[in-house]
Chain A
Amino acid sequence: MAYVATRGGERAIEQSERLFREEMGGFDRDRVEEVKKSLPYLIDRVMGEASLYDEDLAALALAQTGGELYEAVLLLRAWRTTQPRLQVAEPVEQDTLFTHRRISAAFKDIPGGQVLGPTLDYAHRILATDVLQGALYAPDPVEPADTPSPAYQPSVSAWQSENDLLDPPADDPTKSNNIPDLTREPLLFPSKRAHTLQSLARAETGGVLALGYAAMRGYGQAHPTVNELRLAEAEIAVTHPDGRQFSAGRVKVSQAEVVDKKGEKLSIGYAATFGWNEVKCIAAATLDLNSPGAEKGSATEEEFFLYHTEGVESSGFCIHFKLPHYVTFQSSLDAMRDAKAKKAAKAPEPSSSEAVGQTKSEPAE
């Protein structure tokens, strides 16, 4: 009998993928368009976590994975790997953001005004079950205000630093081409400021929320006040080889400034991401606010939260436990049995029920 163990694995993995895809069936451009049109906030979230701004590709990734978010983000990140970095855009200043929504919880009114913009904040969360009975869900049209709010507004922190309530971060003279790029360099600690903000921008929303919420509840030192939350569009300004600057288009971005009120001056935390994702920005800014001086190993320490909110890494490692681990398991069994035998040989009347493996557990492999 020949021991032909081969090929079995290859056939099995092919069929298992077919089984997964069978439920969704084939799809075409129309489905991708439909996903893009009907789920803009999901598209935004996926683009942010993928750190790749392309609504069509994000919709394609969602259609191709049946909405398995971690898989969709991984698809986009892996696609991103194949793309060269052609250009680095100019840094975006806050007062050049084309603003759709901008609110501050710190002041009743702010220069430029509170602009509510699009939000579900005050919607009554009632499921529109009549749609299932055949009714059409037709939202009422928006009635424009008499005077439109200004499209470009300064940040609230700019006013605060003018009034000596806040020390603005030192000017960073780094030219855009030299800004450290997390996708081309490893993240090391203490982290470069650019790496920290880039990590938070591409962090997994749920992970950032969990750790940010822990900080908000009291596991952090700073309690956030939302200084400013903004949904906007940013102009991507790139420089042509002949020296002219031009716009390569606009991308949706969101940002949050949160402040802490301890001491003589405000301290500030900041986060921004591709797409409109308010929860992520507030939670990430809260982590940023809490990180200076945080104890090593605490949830608000930079190394802790940046490593553990990286969605592609954390989800990948989590599902890798499905892989066979029988070699390492065998190796541990051998040590366990030997320890047990040693113990039995030593004790004249063995009490076999006693546990052997009380050593500190090995890290996951």
Chain B
Amino acid sequence: MSLSTLTKPWEAMSYGFLDGSAKRELRRKMLKSVAVPGCQMPYASREVPMARGWGTGGLQVSLTLVNPQTCVKVIDQGADDSVNAASIRRFIAQVAGTPTTMDTLEADLIQSRHRIPEEILREDQVLVLQVPNPEPLRPVQPNMSIARQMHADADYGRMWLQLYEQIVRSGRVMQGASYPSLVNGRHVMTPSPIPRWDVPKLHMARHLTILSAGREKRIFAVPPYTRVEPLVFSDVPYKVEEHGHLTCTRSGTRGFFMNEIPQDDGSSAFEVSDSEWGVKTIRARDGDGESRGETWYKNGEMPQ
């Protein structure tokens, strides 16, 4: 036995950019976060070649999970071609040699900023959500150490009070995206700023969702088949965005989350937010074959 048989030749960087100790820490923290759904696990969070706040948390998780066979999809605001999604996809492919795809059904791992695709994810798929602010209590308690104690005590009274105040003031809950949700009946989490439309997709989902905030150094997870319940009062039901009746002007698809595009004449046009769903719809319309999978929403409604 010699040193050369025990070591590898020098390389400028490790496979997947992160070194072994960083990946090891991330794996341990991911396992912990799966074990206690919705509970935020602090991690060291290394600097990566992208600015903080640009998906560095999601990226560290993705880089730890991939192998050269993992098919990776990256979306930002639902779109594969968004500039930052393109940048992250290119980086992962470059440092980890992974194949990439835009097809939700083909992907093994989907890194996403602010959306869950419209097609139902399977048990063998992992969704990695980029998280700007992991702390649902931030609006009522900006101090992280106090907030941590509040989670430990399941002290969510001020959370409820905030929602109640919104109803009193504005007649409804004004929370837009990142709707606070109770995971597995114990921890309130922020589902990253996905729209309210996407939160029900997490409830008892078949796939694993890992949420990672690189700048704030927290990981949390929604394991498969876990309850995710938006905080609502029994007499004021949860309301998703009223997009169920909207039609995409480019693809003609209807009943999905839309982007509103202001028009010169003062009106609005709508485009489906999940860009690949739009592409697939157009392909089917043009007779290029059906590639669409089953969707969570049917006819603009989430089946109960």
A residues near B (Cβ < 8 Å) are: 1-10, 12-13, 74-75, 77-78, 80-85, 183-190, 296-297, 303, 307, 312-313, 315-320, 323-336, 338-339, 342-343, 346, 356-365
Measured CB to CB, the closest approach of chain B to A151, in angstroms, equals 36
Residue of A nearest to B194 (CB): A327
Q: Are A12 and B83 in contact (CB under 8 A)?
A: yes
**Quick check: is B154 within 8 A (CB to CB) of the other chain?**
no
Measured CB to CB, the closest approach of chain A to B97, in angstroms, equals 17
Partner of B139, one of A189, A317, A363: A363
| A295 CA / B79 CA spacing, docked (Å) | 44
| A6 CA / B146 CA spacing, docked (Å) | 45
Measured CB to CB, the closest approach of chain B to A338, in angstroms, equals 6
Q: Are A324 and B22 in contact (CB under 8 A)?
A: no
Given A184-B44, A303-B145, A342-B171: A81 in contact with B177 (beta carbons within 8 A): no
| A182 CA / B54 CA spacing, docked (Å) | 22
Q: B49 — which chain A residues lie within 8 A by C-beta? A: 74-75, 78
Partner of B82, one of A9, A342, A357: A9
**Quick check: is B17 within 8 A (CB to CB) of the other chain?**
yes
Comparing B85-93, B200-208, B293-301, the segment that makes contact with chain A is B85-93
| A339 CA / B239 CA spacing, docked (Å) | 12
Partner of A365, one of B14, B43, B133, B169: B133
Residue of A nearest to B218 (CB): A186
Q: Are B52 and A326 in contact (CB under 8 A)?
A: no
Would you mind naming 28 contact pairs between A and B with Cβ atoms under 8 Å apart?
A: A4-B279, A5-B80, A5-B81, A10-B90, A78-B48, A82-B12, A82-B19, A184-B21, A188-B145, A297-B142, A297-B143, A319-B51, A323-B76, A326-B259, A327-B177, A327-B259, A328-B114, A328-B177, A331-B197, A333-B176, A335-B173, A335-B174, A339-B171, A339-B172, A339-B174, A359-B165, A360-B139, A361-B139
| A298 CA / B207 CA spacing, docked (Å) | 42
Residue from B51, B138, B195, B197 with most neighbouring chain A CB atoms (10 Å)? B51
Q: Are A364 and B143 in contact (CB under 8 A)?
A: no
**Quick check: is B166 within 8 A (CB to CB) of the other chain?**
yes
Measured CB to CB, the closest approach of chain A to B11, in angstroms, equals 10
Residue of A nearest to B45 (CB): A186
**Quick check: is B231 within 8 A (CB to CB) of the other chain?**
no
**Quick check: is B106 within 8 A (CB to CB) of the other chain?**
no
Q: Are A9 and B193 in contact (CB under 8 A)?
A: no
Residue of A nearest to B170 (CB): A339
Given A317-B52, A334-B241, A365-B177: A3 in contact with B279 (beta carbons within 8 A): yes
Q: Are A330 and B241 in contact (CB under 8 A)?
A: yes
Q: Are A188 and B42 in contact (CB under 8 A)?
A: yes
Q: B132 — which chain A residues lie within 8 A by C-beta? A: 317, 320, 364-365
Q: Are B52 and A313 in contact (CB under 8 A)?
A: yes
Given A328-B195, A331-B196, A342-B172: A6 in contact with B80 (beta carbons within 8 A): yes
Measured CB to CB, the closest approach of chain B to A5, in angstroms, equals 5
**Quick check: is B251 within 8 A (CB to CB) of the other chain?**
yes
**Quick check: is B84 within 8 A (CB to CB) of the other chain?**
yes
Q: Quick one: CB contact mask for B211-224 with A, threshold 8 Å, 1 for yes? A: 00001010000000
**Quick check: is B35 within 8 A (CB to CB) of the other chain?**
no
Q: B165 — which chain A residues lie within 8 A by C-beta? A: 359
Q: Are A327 and B81 in contact (CB under 8 A)?
A: no
Q: Are B275 and A323 in contact (CB under 8 A)?
A: no
**Quick check: is B286 within 8 A (CB to CB) of the other chain?**
yes
| A189 CA / B259 CA spacing, docked (Å) | 41
Other A-B pairs beyond A316-B53, A332-B177, A365-B177, 6, CB < 8 Å: A5-B275, A188-B145, A303-B143, A323-B113, A331-B193, A339-B174
| A332 CA / B195 CA spacing, docked (Å) | 9
| A338 CA / B48 CA spacing, docked (Å) | 41
Q: Quick one: CB contact mask for B25-60 with A, threshold 8 Å, 1 for yes? A: 100000000000000001111111101111010000
| A303 CA / B165 CA spacing, docked (Å) | 29
Partner of A81, one of B48, B79, B84, B170: B48
Q: Are A362 and B82 in contact (CB under 8 A)?
A: no
| A77 CA / B45 CA spacing, docked (Å) | 12
Per CB-CB distance, the 10 closest pairs between chain A and chain B, nearest first, are A316-B52, A320-B53, A332-B176, A186-B42, A77-B47, A331-B176, A316-B51, A9-B86, A317-B53, A189-B145
- B104-146 with Cβ < 8 A to chain A: 113-115, 132-133, 138-139, 142-146
| A169 CA / B102 CA spacing, docked (Å) | 58
Q: B18 — which chain A residues lie within 8 A by C-beta? A: 81
| A74 CA / B275 CA spacing, docked (Å) | 32
Q: Are A13 and B170 in contact (CB under 8 A)?
A: no
Q: A336 — which chain B residues lie within 8 A by C-beta? A: 174
Q: Are B81 and A6 in contact (CB under 8 A)?
A: yes
Q: A362 — which chain B residues lie within 8 A by C-beta? A: 139, 175-176, 178
Given A320-B53, A334-B176: A343 in contact with B171 (beta carbons within 8 A): yes
Q: Are B176 and A328 in contact (CB under 8 A)?
A: yes
**Quick check: is B290 within 8 A (CB to CB) of the other chain?**
no
- B216-274 with Cβ < 8 A to chain A: 217, 239, 241-243, 250-251, 257-260, 273
| A80 CA / B90 CA spacing, docked (Å) | 21
| A78 CA / B77 CA spacing, docked (Å) | 26
Measured CB to CB, the closest approach of chain B to A253, in angstroms, equals 22
Q: Are A81 and B259 in contact (CB under 8 A)?
A: no
Residue of B nearest to A342 (CB): B171
Q: A334 — which chain B residues lie within 8 A by C-beta? A: 176, 241-243
| A190 CA / B13 CA spacing, docked (Å) | 35
Residue from B139, B170, B242, B250 with most neighbouring chain A CB atoms (10 Å)? B170
Residue from A317, A319, A325, A330 with most neighbouring chain B CB atoms (10 Å)? A330
